[in-house]
């Protein structure tokens, strides 16, 4: 079968796009919440998986709103069955992914509630749709002074970590 250039290019583009958006899926029950962007999921084989919520960065535990962010995430997911779409592991061997409960994007909910930032440093790993949704959610939360945005000068977690490291 011979393809003309346009059909061939379209087919190649489709194949590349589908391979780039491929994600593994993990299903299990949340048995731990470390902070506002990290959970532990127990799968059906009784294996625990550390999950770093993709696309967001929540305040550190010792930071303003750190405990509130953790409670918000815990209230949403602890003890519940979740699906995790992930494509990579980070340097701490955590799966980095989108956590879903009944097709609701928990990561996005944390941003909407004002308990996490859209982590723009890693936005290229997100789909274009997610980038737009997360960015819009952060802008709306900030404009409406939700969660950490009630603070007149909230400190991004990546700056908090850097400042803490530099002061040691």
User: H/E element holding 142?
Assistant: helix 128-143
- Strands 24-35 and 104-105, bridge-based pairing: unpaired
Helix (H, G, I), strand (E, B), or coil: what is residue 155? coil
Q: What is the DSSP letter of 168?
A: -
Given 29, 60, 131, 164, which residue is catalytic?
Answer: 60
Given 89, 91, 94, 132, which residue is catalytic?
Answer: 94
**What is d(CA 139, CA 149) in angstroms, rounded to the nearest whole number?**
10
Q: Is 52 a catalytic residue?
A: yes
Given 52, 91, 161, 162, which residue is catalytic?
Answer: 52
DSSP letters spanning 30-96 = EEEEEETTEEEEEETTS-EEEEEETTEEPPPTTSTTHHHHHHHHHHHHTTSEEEEEEEEE-TTSPEE
- Whose structure tokens read 């701490």? 92
Q: Is 94 a catalytic residue?
A: yes
Q: Is 156 a catalytic residue?
A: no
CA dihedral (57, 60, 66, 70) in degrees, to 10, reads 70
- Which residues are catalytically annotated? 52, 60, 94
């Amino acid at each position: 079968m011979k393809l003309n250039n346009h059909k061939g290019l379209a087919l190649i583009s489709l194949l590349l796009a589908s391979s780039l958006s491929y994600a593994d899926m993990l299903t299990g029950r949340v048995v731990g919440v470390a902070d506002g962007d990290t959970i532990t999921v127990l799968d059906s084989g009784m294996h625990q998986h550390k999950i770093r919520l993709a696309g967001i960065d929540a305040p550190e535990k010792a930071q303003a709103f750190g405990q509130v962010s953790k409670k918000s995430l815990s209230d949403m997911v602890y003890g519940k069955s979740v699906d995790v779409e992930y494509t990579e592991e980070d340097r701490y061997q955590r799966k980095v992914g989108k956590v879903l409960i009944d097709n609701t994007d928990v990561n996005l909910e944390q941003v909407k509630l004002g308990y996490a930032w859209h982590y723009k440093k890693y936005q290229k790993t997100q789909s274009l749709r997610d980038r737009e949704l997360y960015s819009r959610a952060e802008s709306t939360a900030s404009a409406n002074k939700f969660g950490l945005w009630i603070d007149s000068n909230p400190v991004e977690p990546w700056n908090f970590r850097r400042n803490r490291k530099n002061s040691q």
